[in-house]
Chains A and B, each alone.
Chain A
Amino acid sequence: MQIVFAAAVLFYMISTVTYFAYLFLQRDLLQKIGCILLVAGFSVQTIDILVAFATTGHMPVNNLHETLSMTAWALVGAFLALNFKFRLKILGIYASPLALFIVLAAGQLPSEPLQPDNLLKGAWLVIHIFTIFTGDAMLALAAGCGLLYLIQERSIKSKSRGFFFKRLPSLDLLDTTGYACIVSGFALLTMGLISGMIYAKIIWGHFWQWDVKEVWSAVTWIFYAVLLHERLAVGWRGRRAAIMAILGFGVMLFTFLGVNLLLKGHHAPFTRF
């Protein structure tokens, strides 16, 4: 399996280089190559995950190495879907290096999975893991859109334009794409939390037990719920929405990894290394 993982790292690495070349040289061919490389990396990772699932019978999230690989996989998948729908090619300069960074971090960790408890089985759990990972990936991309929005808004507002002005798309596209990311991310997150609660009920007999992980998940969910509500109710958009998307990503990241690494709680095997 090491070789497959190495192939994915290599694909993401070249893709990152190609996307940066695209940023500087603005040749459309480069972003196409970058995108194809992401597809290649995504495909080998998919095979990797399916093989792991077939051989062990549970989702490969039993140590930090596996969790991070899965995160990169979800992120790339989400980006490819988004790029297909909105043609926001330039977001590749965010998604591709981020995926590369995650797989590189994963590569530093021991990949031998720890013996999982039998807890980690069942359809609800598969749904839970899948929706949470893809939802979080969408929210990560929303932060990327927010970042690009802030850069582009700065260059228009300050009238300096400069390097990014020509290379980034319109504010409107960045804003709508970011919004679409948050809507889909939030929907997936909601499904993830519900399936997680059902799973908890089956295993432990309670939907909710005030575990730190649960509390922080609720905080993240409420954060995005407020963000969406404000957008729908009073039209929070543009700069403020972009900043909130980036802050939300911080909260989400803490829930996803920070809680496990700093505060413990259940979900522990998930980040063991």
Chain B
Amino acid sequence: MDRILLIGLNHKTAPVEIRECFAFTEEDCRQALTRLCGQPAIEEALLTSTCNRVELLLCVKDIQQAVVAAKGFFSQSKQIPLADFEAALYQHHGDAAVRHLFRVAASLDSMVLGEPQILGQVKTAYRLATEQKSSGVILNRLLHNTFSVAKRIRTETGIGDSAVSISYAAIELARKIFGTLEGKEVLLIGAGEMAELAVEHLIRNRAGQVFVANRTFERGVALAARFNGTAIRMEEIAAHLDRVDIIISSTGAPGYVVQPVDVKGVMRHRRNRPLFFIDIAVPRDIDPKINDINNAYVYDIDDLNEVVDENIEDRRREAVKAERIIDEAVIKFRQWFEALDVVPTIKALHAKIRSQAQLEVQKTLGQLAHLTADDQKAIERMTEAMVNKILHHPTQYIKNSSCQGDRAVPLDLVRKIFGLDE
């Protein structure tokens, strides 16, 4: 496995000032892959570039030369002196490189543990590599393993299960109250990044009509237009409580914007359908006493933060299971890699053909009881001769392959044709 090399930097090793210098567009990636494969020390290459990391995965002939070439590539492609970022670079070889790739794709190495985008980004990187023909037998196999490991982790562990952002946590709570969010009406009081994000999530979950109340009515109208909603005045909030279901509040008001008496008054009119208040404002907008009213639920920013913290803790626990799955996969990949050599392939090929031939001979002889011992010996000798004749050319082909440039290709071909990895 000493031919696999991973070199790069990520959010843990490099500050954003450095990371932003190494942003590769798709076009940059294509050119980079072509250039990398032109290097004599490098056989296969894959370049992953996201806002939190840039990584080169290489299959190399010579590690030392390849490391120099890769560092030179980073420095030249973005015109940055190596000394400025060399300290931020990490490099892994063999098992460690494979494990790192698995961890990245399974989102164990992400800033937000378990976030789902990274797998898509690795897939894009791989697609570019296949289009530029910069990935060969080894990286193909490695990446396919990576995708199945990532998928397995996603289904078998709860790494992506619980919400780890304030707005998602609020949506999840809303689901626990309302079941489906379809058709639930939303009132946004004030404005703010988090609150608007929550409204967007709700709309994506097919929430119903959106109302926007803002101190400056013009601002409210503009926001409402963004959500295809209706702007109302702050004084109209109480009157709208009888029809909306989810209230997201984020104003700069010093006192409470919604009072318990407002809610008590509408509960009967709304036939006790639940009301969910999400209060993101500091100081708070929603009187916490409203939480004591039947069928009304109030979550403020601290409550939501607590949910998020708990969920992050859950994901960390799940990550331990994921590491175990990765350990297994690394071992499996190493077994495949080590088998992809001349002697193991010849041995496996001979063993497979011979055992199959012998199995068939035994079956046939079992049905031919009338044969003498000499007859049986003759049949066995004939089988052995056939096996040797059949194996002669494939064996020669495998032996010659070690003289060719990339012997992984013919070896992989033989292993596939004869099903040696099954």
Report A's interface with B, CB cutoff 8 A.
Answer: 152, 156-157, 159, 161, 165-166, 169-173, 234-240
B307: nearest chain-A partner, CB-CB: A161
A235: nearest chain-B partner, CB-CB: B271
Residue B230 lies at the interface, judged by CB distance under 8 Å to chain A: no
Contact B179 A169 (CB under 8 A): yes
6 A-B pairs within 8 Å (CB atoms) are namely: A161-B310, A171-B176, A171-B179, A237-B272, A238-B272, A239-B295
Q: CA of A161 to CA of B303 in the docked complex: distance in angstroms?
A: 11
Chain A residues lying within 8 Å of B270, measured Cβ to Cβ, are: 235
Contact B297 A152 (CB under 8 A): no
Contact B271 A159 (CB under 8 A): no
Contact B176 A238 (CB under 8 A): no
Query: Which bucket holds chain B's interface residue count?
Result: 20 to 34
Contact A235 B273 (CB under 8 A): yes
Chain A residues lying within 8 Å of B175, measured Cβ to Cβ, are: 170
- Interface flags for B130-142 (1: CB within 8 Å of A; 0: not) read 0000000000000
Smallest beta-carbon distance B181→chain A, Å: 10
Contact (A237, B291) CB under 8 Å given A156-B173, A171-B177, A172-B178: no
Smallest beta-carbon distance B310→chain A, Å: 7
B270: nearest chain-A partner, CB-CB: A235
Contact A235 B268 (CB under 8 A): yes
Residue B294 lies at the interface, judged by CB distance under 8 Å to chain A: yes
Q: CA of A65 to CA of B306 in the docked complex: distance in angstroms?
A: 52
Contact A235 B299 (CB under 8 A): no
Residue B274 lies at the interface, judged by CB distance under 8 Å to chain A: yes
Report B's interface with A, CB cutoff 8 A.
Answer: 162, 173, 175-180, 268, 270-274, 291, 294-295, 297, 299, 303, 306-307, 310
Smallest beta-carbon distance B158→chain A, Å: 9
Select A159's contact among B180, B268, B272, B303, beta carbons within 8 Å. B303
Select A239's contact among B180, B271, B294, beta carbons within 8 Å. B294
Contact (A171, B294) CB under 8 Å given A156-B176, A161-B307, A235-B268: no
Contact B179 A172 (CB under 8 A): yes
Smallest beta-carbon distance B280→chain A, Å: 15
Chain B residues lying within 8 Å of A172, measured Cβ to Cβ, are: 177-180, 274
Contact (A170, B271) CB under 8 Å given A156-B173, A159-B299: no
Q: CA of A51 to CA of B372 in the docked complex: distance in angstroms?
A: 66
Q: CA of A237 to CA of B177 in the docked complex: distance in angstroms?
A: 13
Chain A residues lying within 8 Å of B307, measured Cβ to Cβ, are: 161
Smallest beta-carbon distance B130→chain A, Å: 36
In order of increasing CB-CB distance, the 8 nearest A-B pairs are A235-B271, A172-B179, A170-B179, A235-B272, A238-B295, A237-B272, A173-B179, A159-B303
Q: CA of A138 to CA of B273 in the docked complex: distance in angstroms?
A: 24
Contact A170 B303 (CB under 8 A): no
Contact (A171, B274) CB under 8 Å given A157-B291, A159-B299, A161-B307: yes
Beyond the given pairs A159-B299, A166-B162, A172-B179, 12 more chain A to chain B contacts, judged by CB atoms under 8 angstroms and listed by A's residue number, are: A156-B173, A157-B297, A161-B307, A161-B310, A170-B175, A170-B177, A170-B178, A171-B177, A171-B179, A235-B273, A236-B272, A237-B271
